[in-house]
Structure 1
Amino acid sequence: MTLPPDASASAKTNSYAPDEATIARLREKAKFIRLETVRLIDIAKTGHYTSVFSAAEMFAALYYDVMKLKQGKPKWDERDRFTIGKGHAAVGMFPIFADLGFFPREWLDDYTRLGSPLGDHPDMRKVPGVDFSSGSIGHALSNAIGMTLAQRWTGKDYKVFCMMGDGEMQEGQVWEAALFAAQNKLRNLIAIIDRNGYQLDGKVDDVMNIEPLGDKWRAFGWDVHDVDGHDLAAVTELLRRLRADDTRMQPACVVARTIKGKGVSYMETEPGWHLGWLDPSDAQDAIAEINAKVI
């Protein structure tokens, strides 16, 4: 079971900061996510390495520390919910679900093969642990709002997290949803924007500039926070604090500054790795670099 830290204990210390052992554990989980992404994409022979790598620390913090989940119970009624707009990063989430006992680890070995429930994007009808089928960019926040409204109406005890790519900020539906969430004071909703600076067609701000991003969300009525998305201590502390805050009357937005392809140096400098495949020798070099780095 992964549970958030005790809010009452944290209130006494006025800190949600993770200890060194927790940071070390989460760092290993982020490494695991990257390594499994390389392995699964090798099975598929194409995939989205860099979109996973920019979010690996946030995935680790959410699923192994912050979110309220039960090992082996993907449909537990009071679990925290998670929606993701950048559904092409699902290849980095499937290993987490198997690790949490949501489905057999053997499923991973048939990733994208004929008959496998695991595809390039997440399907909530087929994959235990997936709360929202995504792929068409722009809908994740609207679905997260529906889940948050359901929480309010049913009285169940859970929070809703929604991760979006920064290119997704170019979708009008995102801003309609942002207005609705603030108007209805959906304080149990926490949005996370993976601000890695790139989308399929190049630099996000060259395609359509989205800055000043934090100020825009504030103007729409959200409680906005900025964080280094690869700093596990900072990410975990912030997400713990936002999850435990029962005094906030607004939805919260985290702008996570990240690097697309973080962990493999040549991917960090080449936007063409949004979609691709490593030949065996390059894959071994990537694995060696991921294993050698401490992020």
Structure 2
Amino acid sequence: MTNTADTHDVAGTVDALDPRDPGPDLDRLQRLMGLMTGDEKHSPAATSTLDALWVLYDRVLRVSPESFGDRGRDRFLLSKGHGPMAYYAVLAAKGFFPETLLTGFGSYDSPLGHHPDRTLVPGAEIGSGSLGHGLPLAVGSVLGLRAQGLTEPRVWVLIGDAELDEGSNHEALAYAGPAGLEQLHTLVIDNSSATHGWPGGIASRFEAAGWSAETVDGRDHGALYAAFTAPHPGRPRAVVARVEPKSG
């Protein structure tokens, strides 16, 4: 499978000078997030994902508004869907829908709900609700692509560390490693909100199931990009992005 570092145009990337200083791109995303208001916006859940989402969409994912209907596109599944502001901001910044939609976030007649709805949000691959479904859906997506002979498209799923408390995730990751689902990539946002935790860290849980796994600073764009594009022949890939602990 082709490594995206060989095929993706990285000109004008957010970390051209300093991987930890994304500059005006992150400023723009924060401005876009500021357009979304309301009591149910789950700000910590959203801000924890912002840097990783931007690096994925700006530098790694082979998908755009123009190619979203192509069978050969990469797929991104947001399982951590209860804080979608960063996701909506990134989709707007990449042109999937106009920025003007952001101001209606969560309102009765807005397509941008408190959980993304794939039938309403341009660019959304799945509708999310109860936690624990995204990774199983990603496994099924890879199997579906394989059944169609599509071995190039990659499937990415973003989950939270607390979401790993759900048993459905463990069944999916236990299957994906031995099955050698190389097209599968899981991004775990770790803000220390899990109830139980794992001896040796989250990455060790994936490695024990036969995955390639790495833990990085979830605010370091250079480290995120390197981890996202590292080769992992014959194995699914997990990247654990550590961010500041969730307050409260």
Going from structure 1 to structure 2, the CA distance change for 1:19 and 1:164 (only over 3 Å counts) comes to closer
The aligned residue for residue 37 of structure 1 is 33
The aligned residue for residue 190 of structure 2 is 195
Is 1:150 aligned to 2:144, yes or no?
Answer: yes
Taking the TM superposition and a 5 Å limit, the aligned residue runs for 1:24-63 are 26-40=22-36, 42=37, 44-63=38-57
TM score, norm. by length of structure 2? 0.87
Task: State the Cα distance separating 1:33 from its structure 2 match.
Answer: 2.8
Task: State the Cα distance separating 1:22 from its structure 2 match.
Answer: 8.6
- TM-align CA RMSD: 2.7
The aligned residue for residue 210 of structure 2 is 221
Aligned partners of 1:75 and 1:129 also within 8 Å: no
More helix by share: 1
Task: State the Cα distance separating 1:91 from its structure 2 match.
Answer: 1.4
1:67-115: CA deviation from partner (whole Å, max 9, x where unpaired): 1112444323222111122101211111222222222322222212221
Give secondary structure in 2 for the equivalent of 1:89: coil
CA distance in 1 between counterparts of 2:52 and 2:112 reads: 21
Give secondary structure in 2 for the equivalent of 1:88: coil
Taking the TM superposition and a 5 Å limit, the aligned residue runs for 1:175-194 are 175-194=170-189
Amino acid corresponding to residue 210 of structure 2 in structure 1: G
Give secondary structure in 1 for the equivalent of 2:82: helix
Structure 1 residue corresponding to 2:233, chosen from 225, 230, 248: 248
Give secondary structure in 1 for the equivalent of 2:141: helix
Amino acid corresponding to residue 238 of structure 1 in structure 2: A
CA distance in 1 between counterparts of 2:99 and 2:171 reads: 39
Task: State the Cα distance separating 1:120 from its structure 2 match.
Answer: 0.6
Is 1:210 aligned to 2:198, yes or no?
Answer: yes
Task: State the Cα distance separating 1:29 from its structure 2 match.
Answer: 3.0
The aligned residue for residue 109 of structure 1 is 103
TM score, norm. by length of structure 1? 0.74
Task: State the Cα distance separating 1:25 from its structure 2 match.
Answer: 8.7
Give secondary structure in 1 for the equivalent of 2:26: helix
1:207-256: CA deviation from partner (whole Å, max 9, x where unpaired): 32333322221111111111111111111122122xxx3x6111111111
Going from structure 1 to structure 2, the CA distance change for 1:5 and 1:214 (only over 3 Å counts) comes to closer
Give secondary structure in 2 for the equivalent of 1:93: helix
CA distance in 1 between counterparts of 2:118 and 2:137 reads: 13
CA distance in 2 between counterparts of 1:222 and 1:30 reads: 31
Structure 2 residue corresponding to 1:123, chosen from 111, 117, 128: 117
1:150-182: CA deviation from partner (whole Å, max 9, x where unpaired): 221223331011111000111110000011111
Give secondary structure in 2 for the equivalent of 1:115: coil
Give secondary structure in 2 for the equivalent of 1:87: coil
The aligned residue for residue 230 of structure 1 is 219
Higher Cα Rg, which structure? 1
1:12-41: CA deviation from partner (whole Å, max 9, x where unpaired): xxxxx986259589543333333322320x
The aligned residue for residue 20 of structure 1 is 16
Task: State the Cα distance separating 1:183 from its structure 2 match.
Answer: 2.4
Going from structure 1 to structure 2, the CA distance change for 1:146 and 1:28 (only over 3 Å counts) comes to farther
The aligned residue for residue 259 of structure 1 is 244
The aligned residue for residue 162 of structure 2 is 167
Aligned partners of 1:159 and 1:189 also within 8 Å: yes
CA distance in 2 between counterparts of 1:123 and 1:155 reads: 28
The higher-RCO structure (CA 8 Å, 6+ apart) is 1
Task: List alignment gaps of at least 5 residues for structure 2.
Answer: none
